[in-house]
Amino acid sequence: MKQTIYLMAIREALDEELQRDDKVFILGEDVQQGTFGTTTGLVDKFGPERIMDTPLAETAVAGAAIGAAQAGFRPVADMMFGDFMYIAGDEIMLKAAKWRFLHGGKVNVPVVIMAAVGGGMKLGAEHSMIPEAMIMHTPGLKLAVPSTPYDAKGLLKTAIRDDNPVVFFYHKGLLGLPGEIPEDEYLIPFGQADVKREGSDVTVVATSAMVQQSLAVAEQIKDKVSVEIVDPRTLEPFDLDTIIESVKKTGRVVIVDEDTKRCGITAEIGMQIMENGFDYLDAPIQRVAAANMPIAAGFMEEHVLPQPKNIAGAIEAVMA
Amino acid sequence: MKEIRFVQAINEALEEELSRDEKVYIIGEDVQAGTFGVSTGLVHKFGPERIMDTPLSETVIAGAAVGSAMTGYRPVAEFMFADFMYVAGDEIFAKAAKWRFIHGGTVELPLVFMASMGGYAKLGAEHSQSPESMFMHTPGLKLVVPSTPYDAKGLMKSAIRDNNPVVYLFHKRLLGLKGEIPEEEYVVPLGQADIKREGTDVTVVATGMMVQFALKVAEELKEKVSVEVIDPRTLEPLDIDTIIESVKKTGRAIVVDEDTKRCGVASEIMAQIMELAFDYLDAPIQRIAAANYPIPGGFMEDYVLPQTKDIKAAIEAIAD
Amino acid sequence: MELTQDQLIKLYTLMVRTRKCDELIVNALKSGKAIGFFHSGQGSEAVPIGACTFNLRDDDYLYPHHRGHGIGYMLARGLSPKPFVASHMGRVAQDVEGPTARERGIHGGSGTIGASFVLSAGMGITAKKNGKNQITACFFGDGSANRGTLHEAMNLASVWKLPIVWVCENNLYAQYMPLKDSMAREDIADLASGYNMPGVIVDGQDVLAVHEAVKAAVDRARAGEGPSLVECKTYRYRGHSEGGPDISHYEPRPAKELEEWKKRDPIKLFRENLLQQGVLTDADVERIDKEIEAEAETLEKYADECPIPKPEDPSVLDRLLYAE
């Protein structure tokens, strides 16, 4: 094993896959420099023909990636901020998501749509979103939301090799997170949740930065409550079984998500637990998510985004 | 009272509001002819300056509506098919929804985004969607989904008079539906659910076309099960109180929605029922929604969209 | 109409104030006082000041370019810089004198680049419908000129003869992307021919040239003759965003390029011009600098005293979300 950080893990995955398969290329605004460091330096090794700086045109970035994927390449489109994906709403949610289905399964779209997501940096309503629900809601898109360097690398390699469109969200607040990864090549299959912490009193389901927040809260209250933390790692495909197994043991569930609460993933996961594990529940499921507001800028953002105290409060409530 | 069709009810609402307030205008592709008839004929009375045919450019239709609303007009922007609203993703979900909030409440956006929604017309994946969840998930957008001519007219008038962006989705298969409306002017306030049929055994919550489906099934089953059908009429604001009152009475709830199931409206309403009336539930809540696939073209759509037989089976199962 | 001496001095003073406010935020970010992003507009002050100070009526609409986060446009429109400074420190401005942004037709800015085009088309519809010869001025950069929204909005504006003046602040770079690699033509003004409207190129370092070119476009729009495009050739001195690298693609921008452009600094050029004409004396220049320096110090202290928002009452957020 070796020590790395989240953003280096992403860069390594890109590097290895660019090396392995010459059909892989990266396109996006300023990917040669790498706005968040995830693609930085790759141009030195692979050249501007494969690390392609585009004009400021998100619609063309996504659309061109999808078109190239339909025609046999395996592009990774970097949208910079997840918020900007709305600009390519038609291309991502209609074209990438539906193309194979509409064409009778005859055309594959092996594209990765990658973007930095999440708040905590006081960047306001249009540079802080983590639009997980929109992607999870759209049939045809897979969605990976890594919470550790290990997961980030393994999931991105799988994403690039997948023959379907995959949205890969890396969290801005996790870029410097340290962690261990194997020296040797490895992949993480989609649809396999990971128990990030074992416990027996309450199951906390969380993704991305909320996994790290939940781990911190679990550690703080470990003398009072034994918290199990399950990280689905991919929201589509979704590993409900691991969650149900945990609920059978604990009987209590808190779901934590950084995206907007209404019609969000906490409602969806909550309902799937209810549909498949109602008899194991000792208390109503608690959900913690962003308030039904745009993400406020500056110091106001903490009044909209979920905070550790909200997670602690929900654990307390479900244990009561 | 007079009998009128759904399409005429919308047309009347538009005509009355265009007459009442000269700041109101309609903008969209082919609104002078009216693709679905909802704006047909208005150009004769109000002229092309107020019934404005645009180039084929959904992004500018949405964006121009936002720009003109924030400077004092009350545009009704028509997108023809709700599916096309993804083309203006940034303008609808980031600009219209957030502008007031991110500018400290100093700007008002009195506009209506109007589009046809829904399937059962064999029009395929990109002309059949009911993207209710996308709008309900996005803070800052109100969402109206009428199921009867009476509601269609009264809610459109409220939508136009509201000082916030309102998405108004009319179901293309309800346009010919006949119903009674008052001779005199009336409005239906946003955020008031309507009990479309009273009952005591099971609460069915449904919007749009699904209300008509639920009413049909309730009638068929009336000898066996007493079904209460609740139509929220607007999903934001959502009148959860009326739903909870009904669930307290029946102890059983089914939520029916035409949009895709995953992260959909049904999961959100179910989560809220769980949170507010867990102790009144005699059985797990059931949800019926479109399967997690794009909507196929032609006869295949039956296998993805919710059908009356699904509602019937769910009622029979939950009432057992 | 020739500008009076007072007007010339006002243009100069506004450019110096614009730069000072910009520097204030750059420094506040360095010292950790300011929060979030800042995209400096240093080097391009002649565009907002030349275009907006004397060409627009109070009731015209204006969509600012994001460089300098719009400070030049706000000052040109007679707004107090207090909210600009306070908000960059994450604070709520207090005791703001003078007109509000809304009262001067500035209805906010967008976090996604290129939304400006279509929203401005809507403000153009408003201006036309109002029938009071108002116009809408939409400012944008060379980066956003690559967005599809430009096509949709410029086409609609031309077809409907909307009273819009499109002004490009072409500073040769998007975030890190140089214009030469992002557009097949050198001149953004050339796009105008595709929409059958006038497109002119102007020296964006020359505040009077910008004033004149935009004036002609504004007059045309006000006369009901439709939109025009004015491309101002300019440069930005700093990197895209404070704290980020100052590069072209992934390599440092050529130092010589910056040097050459700084020789044509818009403030310096205009100062020399006014000194030469005798409109300003060295003593005037020194006095103006001192006054603006003092204003900046006052502004910084003022911002320190403005409160950090604390919405203990969540209904504050609800009121922001929806209008009554």
Domains of chain B by residue range: 2-181, 194-319
Range list for CATH 3.40.50.970 in chain A: 2-181
Q: Do B100 and C122 touch (CB under 8 A)?
A: no
The mean pLDDT of C47-63, rounded to a whole number, is: 98
Q: How many Å apart are CA C141 and CA C118, to the nearest integer? A: 15
Q: In Å, how far is C250's CA from the nearest CA of chain A?
A: 4
Question: How do residues A75-121 score in pLDDT, each as one tens digit?
Answer: 999 999 999 999 999 999 999 999 999 999 999 999 999 999 999 99
Q: Do C177 and A294 touch (CB under 8 A)?
A: no
Instruction: Please name the CATH architecture into which domain B2-181 falls.
Output: 3-Layer(aba) Sandwich (3.40)
Which chain C residues are Cβ-neighbours of B139 within 8 angstroms?
Answer: 321
What CATH number does the domain located at A194-319 have?
3.40.50.920
Q: Does C311 touch chain A (CB under 8 A)?
A: yes
Question: How do residues B199-212 score in pLDDT, each as one tens digit?
Answer: 999 999 999 999 99
Average predicted confidence (pLDDT) for chain A: 97
Residue C310: the pLDDT is: 80
Length of chain C: 324
Q: Can A303 be counted among the known catalytic residues? A: no
Q: What is the ipTM of this complex?
A: 0.94
Among B89, B263, B284, beta carbon nearest to A263: B263
Residue C315: the pLDDT is: 73
Identify the closest residue of chain B to C93 by CA–CA distance.
Answer: B104
Please report which helix (H) or strand (E) contains residue A285, including its range.
none
Domain B194-319 has CATH 3.40.50.920: yes
Count of CB pairs separated by less than 8 Å, A with C: 101
Q: Do A57 and C308 touch (CB under 8 A)?
A: no
Of C217, C214, C165, C257, which is closest to residue C47 (Cα–Cα)? Answer: C214
Radius of gyration (C-alpha) of chain B in whole angstroms: 19
Q: Tell me the H-state helices in A89-221.
A: 89, 97-102, 132-137, 149-161, 208-220
Identify the closest residue of chain B to C101 by CA–CA distance.
Answer: B106
Identify the closest residue of chain A to C143 by CA–CA distance.
Answer: A56
Identify the closest residue of chain B to C119 by CA–CA distance.
Answer: B67
Please give the tally of structural domains in chain C.
Answer: 1
Q: Do B65 and C152 touch (CB under 8 A)?
A: no
Which chain A residues are Cβ-neighbours of C249 within 8 angstroms?
Answer: 30, 32-33, 43, 48, 53
Peptide bond into B237 cis (omega under 30): yes
Among C36, C148, C176, beta carbon nearest to A297: C36
**pLDDT tier for residue C178 given thresholds of 50, 70 and 90:** very high
Q: How many Å apart are CA C79 and CA C98, to the nearest integer? A: 6
Asked whether residue C313 carries a pLDDT value surpassing 80, the answer given is: no
Q: Do C35 and A83 touch (CB under 8 A)?
A: no
Range list for CATH 3.40.50.920 in chain A: 194-319
Of B55, B5, B45, B4, which is closest to residue B25 (Cα–Cα)? Answer: B45
Question: A307: helix, coil or strand?
Answer: coil
Q: Do A137 and B133 touch (CB under 8 A)?
A: yes
Which chain C residues are Cβ-neighbours of B105 within 8 angstroms?
Answer: 319-320, 323
Q: In Å, how far is B87's CA from the nearest CA of chain A?
A: 5
Q: Do C177 and A35 touch (CB under 8 A)?
A: no
Residue C109: the pLDDT is: 85
Q: How many Å apart are CA B33 and CA C19, to the nearest integer? A: 53
Q: Do B60 and C149 touch (CB under 8 A)?
A: yes
Domain A2-181 has CATH 3.40.50.360: no
Of B25, B246, B265, B235, which is closest to residue B141 (Cα–Cα)? Answer: B235
Distances (CA, A) of B35 to B52, B78, C123: 14, 10, 26
Phi, psi of B232 (to 5 degrees): -65, -20
The mean pLDDT of B71-79, rounded to a whole number, is: 97
A74: β partners: A24
Q: Does A45 touch chain C (CB under 8 A)?
A: no
Q: Do residues C193 and C187 touch, judged by C-beta distance below 8 A?
A: no
Residue A183: the pLDDT is: 97
Peptide bond into B75 cis (omega under 30): no
What is the residue range of C197's domain? 5-321
Q: In Å, how far is B95's CA from the nearest CA of chain A?
A: 9
Among C144, C183, C245, beta carbon nearest to A33: C245
Q: Quote the tokens at residue C265.
A: 């600094």
Q: Do residues B292 and B261 touch, judged by C-beta distance below 8 A?
A: yes
Task: Return the CATH number at C30.
Answer: 3.40.50.970
For the purposes of burial, counting CB atoms within 10 Å of the CB of A272, is it exposed (0-12), middle (13-18) or buried (19 or more)?
Answer: middle
Average predicted confidence (pLDDT) for chain B: 97
Among B27, B55, B99, beta carbon nearest to C108: B99
Asked whether residue B241 carries a pLDDT value surpassing 80, the answer given is: yes
Asked whether residue C311 carries a pLDDT value surpassing 80, the answer given is: no
The mean pLDDT of A214-232, rounded to a whole number, is: 98
Residue B199: the pLDDT is: 98
Among B85, B137, B260, beta carbon nearest to A260: B137
The strand pair at B166-171 and A24-28 is best described as unpaired
Please report which helix (H) or strand (E) contains residue A24, including its range.
strand A24-28
Q: In Å, how far is B79's CA from the nearest CA of chain A?
A: 14
Question: How do residues B11-40 score in pLDDT, each as one tens digit?
Answer: 999 999 999 999 999 999 999 999 999 999
Q: How many Å apart are CA B28 and CA B97, to the nearest integer? A: 19
Question: What whole-number percentage of chain C has pLDDT above 90?
Answer: 91
pTM, two decimal places: 0.94
Q: How many Å apart are CA B315 and CA B216, to the nearest integer? A: 13
Radius of gyration (C-alpha) of chain A in whole angstroms: 19
Same fold flag, B2-181 and B194-319: yes
Residue C314: the pLDDT is: 67
Q: In Å, how far is C251's CA from the nearest CA of chain A?
A: 8
Q: Quote the tokens at residue B260.
A: 């895709």
Residue C5: CB atoms within 10 Å: 12
Q: How many Å apart are CA C280 and CA C260, to the nearest integer? A: 26
Q: Do A267 and B263 touch (CB under 8 A)?
A: yes
- Of A130, A271, A318, which to mutate for an interface test with B (greatest number of B Cβ within 10 Å)? A271
Q: How many Å apart are CA A69 and CA A164, to the nearest integer? A: 9
Q: Quote the tokens at residue B54.
A: 């645009």
Q: How many Å apart are CA B60 and CA A264, to the nearest integer? A: 29
Asked whether residue A193 carries a pLDDT value surpassing 90, the answer given is: yes
**pLDDT tier for residue C28 given thresholds of 50, 70 and 90:** very high
Q: Does A301 touch chain B (CB under 8 A)?
A: no
- Of A52, A53, A78, which to mutate for an interface test with C (greatest number of C Cβ within 10 Å)? A53
Residue A180: CB atoms within 10 Å: 11
Phi, psi of A197 (to 5 degrees): -155, 135
What is the maximal distance between C-alpha atoms in chain C?
59
Q: Does A285 touch chain B (CB under 8 A)?
A: yes
Q: Do A33 and C249 touch (CB under 8 A)?
A: yes
Q: Any idea of the CA torsion for A8, A11, A12, A16, to the nearest 10 degrees?
A: 180
HEC secondary structure over chain C: CCCCHHHHHHHHHHHHHHHHHHHHHHHHHHCCCCCCCCCCCCCCCHHHHHHHCCCCCCCCEEECCCHHHHHHHHHHCCCCCHHHHHHHCCCCCCCCCCCCCHHHCECCCCCCCCHHHHHHHHHHHHHHHHCCCCCEEEEEECCHHHCHHHHHHHHHHHHCCCCEEEEEEECCECCCCEHHHCCCCCCHHHHHHHHCCCEEEEECCCHHHHHHHHHHHHHHHHCCCCCEEEEEECCCCCCCCCCCCCEECCEECCHHHHHHHHHCCHHHHHHHHHHHHCCCCHHHHHHHHHHHHHHHHHHHHHHHHCCCCCCCCCHHHHHHHCCC
DSSP 8-state secondary structure symbol assigned to residue A312: H
Q: Do B110 and C323 touch (CB under 8 A)?
A: yes
Q: Do residues A315 and A254 touch, judged by C-beta distance below 8 A?
A: yes
Radius of gyration (C-alpha) of chain C in whole angstroms: 19
Phi, psi of A130 (to 5 degrees): -130, 85
Q: Do A294 and C321 touch (CB under 8 A)?
A: yes
Question: How do residues A138-153 score in pLDDT, each as one tens digit?
Answer: 999 999 999 999 999 9
Supply the angle between the helices B6-20 and B149-161 in degrees, to the nearest 10: 30
SS3 content of chain B, % helix, strand, coil (to 5): 40, 20, 40
Q: In Å, how far is C109's CA from the nearest CA of chain B?
A: 8
Chains touching B by CB (3 or more pairs below 8 Å): A, C
Q: In Å, how far is B190's CA from the nearest CA of chain A?
A: 18
Question: How do residues A256-286 score in pLDDT, each as one tens digit?
Answer: 999 999 999 999 999 999 999 989 999 999 9
Which of A127, A137, A171, A303 does the annotation list as catalytic?
A127
Residue C320: the pLDDT is: 86
The strand pair at B24-28 and C247-248 is best described as unpaired
Count of CB pairs separated by less than 8 Å, B with C: 127
Question: How do residues C78-130 score in pLDDT, each as one tens digit?
Answer: 999 999 999 999 999 999 999 999 999 999 888 888 999 999 999 999 999 99
- Of C250, C310, C320, which to mutate for an interface test with A (greatest number of A Cβ within 10 Å)? C250
Residue C1: the pLDDT is: 61
Question: How do residues A14-54 score in pLDDT, each as one tens digit?
Answer: 999 999 999 999 999 999 999 999 999 999 999 999 999 99
Question: A308: helix, coil or strand?
Answer: helix
Among C118, C319, C324, beta carbon nearest to B64: C118
Place of tokens 């061109």: A64
The strand pair at B24-28 and B74-81 is best described as parallel
Residue C316: the pLDDT is: 77
Q: Do residues C166 and C228 touch, judged by C-beta distance below 8 A?
A: yes
